[in-house]
């Protein structure tokens, strides 16, 4: 039996029960759509975070309190022994080799006239922060100066979310607003940085370190950024930093990371996330496959007499097997192709609101899966059809 | 001219195993049918004529005994070999027509040609010419349910002729038809006989059987 006839036959069978075929395909469509979309989100997230970290610069070392991971303490250790004084010590000892910027933080509410913005992260840092953290660029106005920092000036640089929520379209420079109970003057605005894992990176206010310490009574730091003057010095500065801090802290009190080491941790996490998302979507594809098997069994039963007749007229087992297998494969493949198209469109639309990036491998996998599902789930019904005895089948009512 | 045995059954039996009950349907059938004969196999229902027809038509194999078709013993053939022989050597005409309801008349007639591996062009030419001779050309694109019973049975005969088989096996071909269209179908079979086909007609109707050259009477699984 030639392939052309087989295709015509399958097309007719699918077309004869349009609603049924459509619903069966829908299961595959949803599965494939979900795989492509969720994998796209996972990949998009990974790219976004990777870019964010890469944006920090390859010369950057950061010291954070507590211990992250490690064989001995897999869940990490919480510690708040890393303090502002450690940053000062580091700057003194590292001298010309690096710039050190400690960051303290507090979440509070900021107010301007009758408007308020809740959950704003207030960062207290030093004036060299924009030089060190490369993705903190100033959009308008300026960052606070060394003298403003040292005098504990009530000057603030605000993020885009704070800008739009408090000042909407007004020029914020020079405006006075409340951070908690203290009045600050806006001197600059930071460029948009977006959201990571749903955390808005633009809902921030940056103020001089001494002002933040005085207002919130903070001594332990959130992060100490160390910008090394030459990237070849990064390993040496990293070792030196560790040695200095171990002078009075233990290994559980701090973790030193470079952009590179963070990148590998984050890609591990996002990879697992992508696989987990894809896995969940794959389950829905599996359910779709069961739908195909189900409808093929119905189809074989319904067409028992037809199978008997075809056999009487000379169809061999293989002919019947191929006929039903192709029908199942066409069902799932059509569903798969529709799912791929919808998944791609969905990813493009989603990219406007959220991070999302289509990967070729997810499209191939989805395509391969839908063909495989047609064959695997179509196999049992097709074998059943091919084994029908012509007399029994012809007698079937 | 010496006629050769087209079909030779030697002491063929058929048992059906229903759990612990064994039903002996055919109890030793020996018969010969020559090329070009027009034979009726006549018997009441339950006489075993359907089982005999299944075996003659290669839809089933005997429990014991031998079946020679053109001198080759087909009683031990495998399923796919039987399919091949059915396709090439035998044209079936069933009581209930057994046309594919969703396919057109033309598609129904062409079906055995597809399984024979004929080219599309070849299939089209053959089917068109058969349908023309049988007088169904105008119905070529209709669905079976748009035709009368007599017309549908003629479509089934056209389908049986598709691969130019040696044998036409008609199982109660007039059973679902009125007397007039039934007679038309028999007349068509007579014409095919004149054209050299071997025709085996299974029937329980005496007046139909009497129109053939030879009647084989079957009673209780044996030939009288």
Q: Per CB distance under 8 Å, which residues of A are interface residues toward B?
A: 1-2, 4-5, 12, 16, 305-306, 309-319, 389-391, 394
pLDDT in tens, A15-38: 888 999 999 999 999 999 988 888
Q: In the prediction, which pLDDT does A132 show?
A: 80
B159 inside 8 A of chain A by CB: yes
Check: CB of residue A97 under 8 Å from CB of residue A228: yes
* A69-88 mean pLDDT: 75
Q: In the prediction, which pLDDT does B19 show?
A: 83
* A180-201 mean pLDDT: 81
CA separation for the pair A315, A386 (Å, rounded): 9
Residue A55 clears pLDDT 80, i.e. is over it: no
* A163-183 mean pLDDT: 89
**What share of chain A has pLDDT > 90, as a percent?**
27
Least confident of A236-245, A260-269, B27-36, B124-133: A260-269
Least confident of A53-62, A373-382, B185-194: A53-62
Q: Hey, of B14, B50, B59, B162, which one would you mutate to test binding to chain A, going by the most A CBs within 10 A of its CB?
A: B59
**A200 phi and psi angles, rounded to 5 deg:** -75, 115
Mean per-residue pLDDT of chain B? 92
Q: How confident is the model at residue A356 (pLDDT cuts 50, 70, 90)?
A: confident
Least confident of A258-272, B17-31, B204-218: A258-272
Least confident of A130-139, B33-42, B213-222: A130-139
Residue A200 clears pLDDT 60, i.e. is over it: yes
CA separation for the pair B119, B117 (Å, rounded): 6
**Under 8 Å CB-to-CB from A46, ≥6 apart: which residues?**
A266, A267, A270, A271, A273, A274
How far does the CA of residue A305 sit from the closest CA of chain B (Å)?
A: 8
* B50-66 mean pLDDT: 92
Query: Coil, helix or strand for A165?
Result: helix
* A120-134 mean pLDDT: 85
Vertex A218: Cα angle to A213 and A219 (nearest 5): 100
Check: CB of residue A241 under 8 Å from CB of residue A16: no
Q: In the prediction, which pLDDT does B3 show?
A: 52
pLDDT in tens, B111-127: 999 999 889 999 999 99
In chain B, what residues touch A322 (CB-CB under 8 Å)? Answer: none
In chain A, what residues touch B45 (CB-CB under 8 Å)? Answer: none
Tokens of A229: 């003057």
Contact map slice: B 17-76 vs A, CB within 8 A: 54, 57, 59-60
**What share of chain B has pLDDT > 70, as a percent?**
98
Q: In the prediction, which pLDDT does A230 show?
A: 80
The ipTM of this complex is: 0.93
Q: In the prediction, which pLDDT does A134 show?
A: 66
How many Cβ pairs closer than 8 A exist between chain A and B?
A: 59
In chain B, what residues touch A304 (CB-CB under 8 Å)? Answer: none
B98 inside 8 A of chain A by CB: yes
Of A183 and A50, the structure prediction assigns the larger pLDDT to A183
Q: In the prediction, which pLDDT does B186 show?
A: 94
CA separation for the pair A124, A210 (Å, rounded): 7
CA separation for the pair B158, B57 (Å, rounded): 17
Q: In the prediction, which pLDDT does A332 show?
A: 92
β-pairing, B167-171 vs B90-93, is parallel
Residue A197 clears pLDDT 60, i.e. is over it: no
Mean per-residue pLDDT of chain A? 86
Q: In the prediction, which pLDDT does B32 show?
A: 93
Residue B1 clears pLDDT 60, i.e. is over it: no
Q: Hey, of A5, A313, A390, which one would you mutate to test binding to chain B, going by the most B CBs within 10 A of its CB?
A: A313
In chain A, what residues touch B111 (CB-CB under 8 Å)? Answer: 310, 313
B5 inside 8 A of chain A by CB: no
* A174-201 mean pLDDT: 83
In chain B, what residues touch A315 (CB-CB under 8 Å)? Answer: 83, 115
Using CB atoms within 10 A of its CB, is residue A97 exposed (0-12), middle (13-18) or buried (19+)?
Answer: middle
Of A362 and B185, the structure prediction assigns the larger pLDDT to B185
Q: In the prediction, which pLDDT does A198 show?
A: 62
8-state DSSP, B5: E
Q: Hey, of B49, B82, B83, B163, which one would you mutate to test binding to chain A, going by the most A CBs within 10 A of its CB?
A: B83
A240-270 burial code (b ≥16 CB/10 A, e <16): bbeebbeeebeebbbbbbbbeebbeebeeeb
pLDDT in tens, B5-31: 889 999 999 998 888 899 999 999 999
In chain B, what residues touch A319 (CB-CB under 8 Å)? Answer: 115
Q: In the prediction, which pLDDT does A316 show?
A: 93
Residue A86 clears pLDDT 90, i.e. is over it: no
CA separation for the pair A3, B120 (Å, rounded): 12
pLDDT in tens, A272-320: 888 888 888 888 888 998 999 999 999 999 999 999 999 999 999 999 9
In chain B, what residues touch A2 (CB-CB under 8 Å)? Answer: 114, 117, 120
CA separation for the pair B29, B52 (Å, rounded): 9
Q: In the prediction, which pLDDT does B2 show?
A: 47
How far does the CA of residue B1 sit from the closest CA of chain A (Å)?
A: 32
Q: In the prediction, which pLDDT does A299 show?
A: 92
* B166-193 mean pLDDT: 93
């Amino acid at each position: 039996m030639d392939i052309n006839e087989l295709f015509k036959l399958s097309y007719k069978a699918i077309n004869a029960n349009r609603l049924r075929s459509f619903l069966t395909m829908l299961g595959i469509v949803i599965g494939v759509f979900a795989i492509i979309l969720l994998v796209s989100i996972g990949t998009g997230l990974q790219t976004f975070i990777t870019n964010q970290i890469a944006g920090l610069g390859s010369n950057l070392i950061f010291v954070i309190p507590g211990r992250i991971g490690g064989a001995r303490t897999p869940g990490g250790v919480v510690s708040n022994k890393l303090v502002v004084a450690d940053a000062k010590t580091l700057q003194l000892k590292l001298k010309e080799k690096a710039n050190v910027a400690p960051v303290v933080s507090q979440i509070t509410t900021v107010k301007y006239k009758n408007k308020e913005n809740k959950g704003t992260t207030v960062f207290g840092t030093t004036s060299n922060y924009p030089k060190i953290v490369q993705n903190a660029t100033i959009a308008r106005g300026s960052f606070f100066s060394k003298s403003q920092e040292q005098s504990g000036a009530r000057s603030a640089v605000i993020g885009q979310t704070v800008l739009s929520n408090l000042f909407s379209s007004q020029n914020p420079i020079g405006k006075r607003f409340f951070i908690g109970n203290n009045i600050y003057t806006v001197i600059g605005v930071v460029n948009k940085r977006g959201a990571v894992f749903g955390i808005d990176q633009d809902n921030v206010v940056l103020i001089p370190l001494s002002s933040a310490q005085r207002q919130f009574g903070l001594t332990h730091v959130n992060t100490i950024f160390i910008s090394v003057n030459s990237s070849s010095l990064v390993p040496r500065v990293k070792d030196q930093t560790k040695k200095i801090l171990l002078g009075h802290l233990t290994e559980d009190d701090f973790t030193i990371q470079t952009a590179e080491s963070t990148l590998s941790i984050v890609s591990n996490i996002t990879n697992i996330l992508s696989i987990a998302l894809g896995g969940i979507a794959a389950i829905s594809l599996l359910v779709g496959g069961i739908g195909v098997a189900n409808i093929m069994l119905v189809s074989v039963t319904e067409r028992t007499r037809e199978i008997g007749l075809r056999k009487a007229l000379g169809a061999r087992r293989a002919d019947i097997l191929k006929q039903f297998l192709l029908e199942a494969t066409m069902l799932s493949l059509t569903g798969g192709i529709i799912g791929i198209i919808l998944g791609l469109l969905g990813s493009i639309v989603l990219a406007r609101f959220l991070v999302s990036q289509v990967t070729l491998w997810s499209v191939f996998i989805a395509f391969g899966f839908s063909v495989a599902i047609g064959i695997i789930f179509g196999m049992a019904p097709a074998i059943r059809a091919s084994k029908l005895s012509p007399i029994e089948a012809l007698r079937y009512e | 001219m010496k006629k050769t045995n087209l079909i030779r059954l030697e002491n063929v039996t058929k048992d059906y195993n229903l759990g612990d009950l064994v039903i002996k349907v055919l109890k030793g059938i020996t018969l010969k049918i020559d090329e070009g004969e027009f034979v009726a196999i006549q018997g009441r229902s339950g006489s075993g004529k359907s089982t005999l027809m299944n075996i003659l038509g290669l839809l089933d194999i005997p429990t014991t005994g031998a079946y020679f078709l053109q001198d080759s013993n087909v009683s031990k053939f495998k399923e796919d070999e039987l399919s091949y022989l059915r396709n090439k050597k035998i044209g079936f005409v069933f009581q209930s027509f057994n046309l594919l309801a969703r396919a057109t008349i033309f598609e129904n007639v062409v079906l055995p040609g597809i399984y024979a591996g004929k080219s599309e062009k070849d299939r089209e030419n053959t089917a068109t010419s058969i349908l023309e001779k049988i007088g169904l050309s105008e119905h070529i694109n209709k669905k079976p349910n748009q035709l009368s019973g007599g017309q549908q049975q003629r479509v089934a005969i056209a389908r049986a002729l598709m691969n130019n088989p040696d044998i036409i096996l008609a199982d109660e071909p007039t059973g679902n038809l009125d007397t007039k269209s039934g007679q038309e179908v028999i007349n068509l079979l007579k014409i095919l006989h004149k054209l050299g086909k071997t025709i085996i007609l299974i029937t329980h109707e005496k007046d139909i059987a009497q129109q053939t050259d030879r009647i084989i009477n079957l009673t209780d699984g044996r030939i009288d």
